[in-house]
Structure 1
Amino acid sequence: MTIVKVRMRAQEISVMPGLRLALSMTALAVLSACSSLAPPPELPKQLMPEASRWHAPQGPALAAEAGAVVWQRLNDSVLLQLQAQAESANPSLQQVLARVQQARALSQQAGSAQLPQLNANGLAQRSRPAQPSGSPTQTLSSVSLDSSWEIDLFARVRQQASAAQARLQASELDAQAARLSLAAEVAQAYLNLRSCERLAQIAQADAAATAQLARFAAERLRVGFESAANEALLQAAAANAANLALAQQAECELAVKGLVALTAMEEGALRQALQPGAAQLPAIAGLGLAVASVPAEALARRPDLAASQQQVLAAWAERGAAEAARYPQLQLSGSISLANLRIAGGSDEGRGWSFGPSLSLPLFDGGARKAQAQGALARYDEALAGHRQSVLQAVREVEEGLVRLDAARAREALAERAAAGYRQSLQATERRWRAGLASAAELEDARRLSLGADSALVQLQREGLSAWVALCRASGAGWDGQAASPALKKSSGDAA
């Protein structure tokens, strides 16, 4: 594909008066092109959902708390310690921060294109020509200073810089989103471990109690107060309870391994840090488990949506830069040079300079620039549709979090009553069995019901806390639009 350009310098224009008409036409083209470049639009209002679309049950407002404040409401110092460790050492977050540095470098590179470029060149060369024979040695030395500056007629360079800056802001917001996501992920893993420890504690207590009943049944069988079938049933129940306790302990070991991967801590140090509060689920202080009634108030706090918005603005700026590339480009350039030539003991010096504008006027490129502009516009449409999808997904996440949280709160009281009732039934059945008034099958049924109710209560408590953590993440709580992670602040300071 051929690209035809016309370049003219000021020195040539003075001796070519026939080009004045062409220059006038070029000026008209410049003005008409300027009028075709519209300023970046505001994002459509329909991107943010209306309050009428917020259908999930709601409660007190969840405040826009920054940093670790929102996690402090879980009232667990071990969790805060693990979150801080993960933020400082998690490899995934470090990768995101490295991408911020890359985006910052690209933004600085794009911004420098708006400034005049100045280069210094030096040359020192010694030579002897092969022909004619006996030619003297020549020494050439020169120093030059070259400068160039593009007059940004159609804001091509400015829009490229604007796009790079928007990409930088998007990467910084992505880092904040990754930080919030990591904190929530550590919280979920921590809740999973604590609930697993509690379930293991329940399973071990049940295994110990069942083993004691099996021993008592063996004694009764020996004196003839228990049938062989009932004794075998209780022995089988004791073995099954021990099996379940071992399985639950293995699940807890896997949960510890997951926290090791998230926090990048040495496993021994992590286990030591986890000792306080073992088998205890956190208790939320100042329970406020819903978001404000207007969805936009919650979604405006999500850093990933703010990053998506910056990506839309960057795509629009890149569209403008691609459109501006279809029009003439004007560049000022200048050069100052000094040279010295030595031949056979003699020397000669020279000074030179040049200055003038250079106009590049695209005449024919087979539609390449137009296609690039259309492609940039399509990428903007794609970014806009992606932002809309992100908003819809955010609404879904908050709605689902509210439903799960409301259901967990409503079910917990019932689960507590059920666990207490089955526990009382087990105690009464055991007393009856010891007195010979109940069978071993009745005792085993009561034990299973009580164990299931206790386990279900712990799981439901974990689900409620997990739903609260997910809601904090979905609504952007823990990020106030201004706070930056210590690692991100350090990264910015190093770059400066």
Structure 2
Amino acid sequence: MPYCPAASASFSPRTVNRTARQLRAIAVAAAVAMAVAGCAVGPDYQRPATPMPASYKEAPQGWKVAQPSDQFDRGEWWTIYNDASLNDLEARLNQSNQSIAQFAAAYRQARALVGEARASYFPTIGASASASRAGTGAGNRSTNSSSFGQQGSINNQFSLALDATWEPDLWGSIGRTVNAQKAGQQGAAADLANARLSAQATLAQTYFQLRSLDAQQKLLDDTVGAYQQSLKLTQNQYAQGIVARSDVIQAQTQLQSAQAAAIDNGVARAQYEHAIAVLVGEPASTFSLPAMPLDATPPTVPAEMPSAILERRPDIASAERKAAAANEQIGIAIAAYFPSLTLSAQGGFESSVLSQLLRAPSRFWTLGPDIAATIFDGGLRAARTDAARAAYDQNVATYRQTVLTAFQDVEDNLASLRILEKEIVVQQQAVESAQQALAIINNQYKAGTVAFINVLTAQTTAFTAQQKLASIAGQRMVSSVGLVKALGGGWDAGQMDRETGGVEAPVAVSAEKRAPGG
């Protein structure tokens, strides 16, 4: 290690000239590095082009498209259903859902990786201190008695030094690494938002399915009561000799079948209730929801033009950010073809006497640039560049597929809502007709003009129609939530830079609750 002689406190002219030349070389290297830095190699990123429809094919007639004035952070989108129980459950989910917590931790990790990448912009400075003690053996014995028994020598060495190294970003490798990590952070924020939106939508859909089962349970209970009255009537007529015993057995069979269906409905309800417990982060054993039949209709859900879905869907934003990160990796791979420059400096004190360690004669220093380039690597850099380009192409394909799937989601839910809206009107008419037919046949049976099989058929028809009506009502609510989710809920791409990484990121909620997309 070069250092100044410890016995001299001054520098010779030759040493001064050599030092000046070294300093000039360092200054020139630093100036070149600063001039070249920022000259990033590799392709600049542009969002991949995707097919964009002009409008939604399945949108019902008169369906309102949101106006520019409607654009704001819609926050708690589930409040459009005006259901206090659902609002409470969603709040609990945002606080305690473990899937959201996983993605929140992944976001915090991605945010830390950005700081790790940025650290490469700055020099690395270190300090070291050492002390050593070494001895040599006794010298050869002399015939001279005065030298007999001469002891070996002991040497001490003390050192205190600072060192610094810096690698200028000549070819943009560090800058692209930082950009890649930033894109990764934004993608992680979008993944977190997507996980939160998916959990919120799943909770709302499961909740409405449970309420639909509550409505069907009420229908089943009412049906069991009606069948009990029918059985009692048949038993009275049998006792009077008006009808045969087969009518009584048929009435009993029908009642027992309805009772079994009422019990079986409880199994599905319990499973939905347990699913909700998991979503809100509670043990299924300690969670319960009181029965409350579904009594709601889907609210109007206007939406932005199809092009806005690119900014409203967190899964699309995540896929696009992954493509951006992959593009930066191409530049990083290409930068490996160019030489690297490392500037280093070291200085400190070194002495064999501790008391003289911090004096001028003990000083030493070294400065110098280091340029390194790979001449032959057996095609390693070419393979890495090809792999980076292929990874980018893969992410672009994933992004485009995500966009196509997003439009499919919107169209599917629009079609479902449009068709179910027509179907429920017809089904309501079918229920009314079935109930009227049942009333007429019951009167005819009491008068003895029709057989009991006609009553059984009318009762089954009326029950099936009512059960179908309750099922359609639940499907409409599930499709409504699906449309809100397909349109991105209350999220927009600008939130990728505002995520906090917590389980529940703060959102701005308007005092006027509006439908998502409107």
- Under TM normalisation by the shorter chain, which class is it? 0.7 to 0.9
Contact 2:137 2:153 in 1 (8 A): no
1:441–1:165 Cα change, 3 Å: same
Contact 2:294 2:474 in 1 (8 A): no
Q: How many equivalent residue pairs?
A: 464
1:114–1:488 Cα change, 3 Å: same
1:235–1:347 Cα change, 3 Å: closer
The alpha carbon displacement at 1:327 in A equals 0.2
Aligned to 1:177: 194
Aligned to 1:122: 129
1:355–1:346 Cα change, 3 Å: closer
The alpha carbon displacement at 1:399 in A equals 1.2
Aligned to 1:90: 97
User: Which of 422, 426, 432 matches 2:438?
Assistant: 426
Contact 2:227 2:251 in 1 (8 A): yes
Distance 2:327 2:315 in 1: 19
Aligned to 2:50: 47
Distance 1:144 1:360 in 2: 26
Matching of residue 477 in structure 1 with residue 494 in structure 2: no
Aligned to 2:58: 56
User: Which of 189, 197, 207 matches 2:206?
Assistant: 189
| Aligned residue identity for 1:279 | P
Aligned to 1:384: 396
Distance 1:82 1:353 in 2: 67
> Superposed, which structure 2 residues align to 1:303-318 within 5 Å?
303-318=314-329
Show CA shifts across 1:35-60 (max 9, x none): 8935513224x3151316x3223412
The alpha carbon displacement at 1:80 in A equals 1.5
Show CA shifts across 1:152-196 (max 9, x none): 111111111111111111101110111111110101110111111
Contact 1:71 1:80 in 2 (8 A): yes
Show CA shifts across 1:391-446 (max 9, x none): 11111111111111111111111111111221222233223323333322111111
| Aligned residue identity for 1:305 | I
Compare 69-78 and 230-239 and name the one that shifted more: 69-78
Aligned to 2:108: 101
Q: Could you say what the CA RMSD is over the residues aligned between the two structures, in angstroms?
A: 3.3
1:220–1:182 Cα change, 3 Å: same
User: Which of 457, 462, 467 matches 2:479?
Assistant: 467
The alpha carbon displacement at 1:137 in A equals 5.3
User: Which of 262, 271, 284 matches 1:245?
Assistant: 262
Show CA shifts across 1:289-337 (max 9, x none): 3534x31123421111111111111111111111111101111111112
3-state SS of paired residue (1:319): helix
Contact 1:299 1:475 in 2 (8 A): no
Distance 2:385 2:19 in 1: 33
Aligned to 1:205: 222
The alpha carbon displacement at 1:221 in A equals 1.6
1:465–1:11 Cα change, 3 Å: farther
Contact 1:40 1:313 in 2 (8 A): no
Distance 2:282 2:103 in 1: 20
| Aligned residue identity for 1:308 | A
Matching of residue 302 in structure 1 with residue 321 in structure 2: no
3-state SS of paired residue (1:73): helix
User: Which of 483, 488, 493 matches 2:501?
Assistant: 488
Distance 1:12 1:439 in 2: 118
Aligned to 2:334: 323
Distance 1:228 1:355 in 2: 111
Matching of residue 279 in structure 1 with residue 293 in structure 2: yes
Aligned to 1:20: none
Contact 2:43 2:327 in 1 (8 A): no
User: Which of 426, 431, 435 matches 1:414?
Assistant: 426
The alpha carbon displacement at 1:97 in A equals 0.8
Aligned to 2:183: 166
Matching of residue 453 in structure 1 with residue 473 in structure 2: no
| Aligned residue identity for 1:310 | R
| Aligned residue identity for 2:490 | G
3-state SS of paired residue (2:368): strand
Show CA shifts across 1:260-301 (max 9, x none): 111112447642xx33x71124344xx323534x31123421
1:333–1:454 Cα change, 3 Å: same
Contact 1:96 1:175 in 2 (8 A): yes
| Aligned residue identity for 1:71 | W
1:464–1:150 Cα change, 3 Å: same
The alpha carbon displacement at 1:66 in A equals 3.5
| Aligned residue identity for 2:89 | L
Aligned to 1:18: none
| Aligned residue identity for 1:57 | A
| Aligned residue identity for 2:106 | R
Aligned to 2:86: 79
Distance 2:199 2:505 in 1: 20
Mark the structure with the bigger radius of gyration.
2
Contact 1:64 1:479 in 2 (8 A): no
1:487–1:249 Cα change, 3 Å: farther
1:115–1:490 Cα change, 3 Å: farther
Compare 62-71 and 401-410 and name the one that shifted more: 62-71
TM-score by length of 2: 0.81
Distance 1:129 1:391 in 2: 77
| Aligned residue identity for 1:206 | T
Distance 1:362 1:12 in 2: 30
Structure 2 residue runs of 5 or longer lacking an equivalent are: 1-16, 23-27, 140-149, 507-518
3-state SS of paired residue (2:121): coil
1:434–1:11 Cα change, 3 Å: farther
